[in-house]
Amino acid sequence: MRGTRLACVIVLLAAAVFAALLAADLRSWRDTIRSGDVQFSQRHAGATWAASTTLPFDPALRILDLSDQLAFRRAAQRFVTVEAAGNGVDNGYSESQARGNLETVLTRLSEGRNRRQSAQADNLLGILAFADSQRQGPGGPAPVERSVSDFQAAAQLDPENDDAKLNLELLLRKLVARGVRPGSAGSNGGPGKGHKGAGGGLPGSGY
């Protein structure tokens, strides 16, 4: 009987310690996200989102479902760098590679369950696509329809995404000024996404 009671006490103590450590890890992640977002708003290059946690395998990260949110924040950080990059010393090869990697991450995020975050990823993709459509050189500009489609998808996923709606409006005005009928620049539905769910994330950026 004493052995059973002792075992129960040990289990209860272990559970209490686990609960205390988990609560500390949860607070650490919340504080990390908050401070990282503040850093990003002040100086994007110096922002970090790496919490100091105690429990192995970081269950707090999974409980808070932060993987995609962290991926988006880091992608937004890379977006600022990629958008500002020139051709560099290797005729744009490194920049093109970084841009392609970023677009791959943003495309995956745009297909996630978090509608608000997916809309922000679509908006950033639209900005990159618009930059491609203005590109000069041997390769020529990319079609602007992709940018229109990305902005449309972002605005439809999150009607409160003012950045995407403004970007879409400005782009359509540009097309009208060039004599292009807006309806022919992209479909109303945008690219096929298959989003579901809702959530939050960092705000997007206008082009």
Q: Please give the single-letter amino acid code of residue 154.
A: A
Cα–Cα distance between 176 and 165 in angstroms, integer?
16
Q: Give the per-residue pLDDT at 176.
A: 87
Positions in the chain whose pLDDT score sits under 50: 89-91, 184-207
Using DSSP's 3-state secondary structure scheme, residue 196 falls into: coil
Q: Give the per-residue pLDDT at 138.
A: 53
Q: What is the pLDDT of residues 154-202, one digit of tens each?
A: 999 999 999 999 999 999 999 888 877 655 444 444 444 444 333 334 4
Q: Give the per-residue pLDDT at 87.
A: 53
Please give the full DSSP string across 61-125, using - where no structure is assigned. Answer: HHHTT-HHHHHHHHHHHHHHHHHH---GGGTTHHHHHHHHHHHHHHHHHHTSS-HHHHHHHHHHH
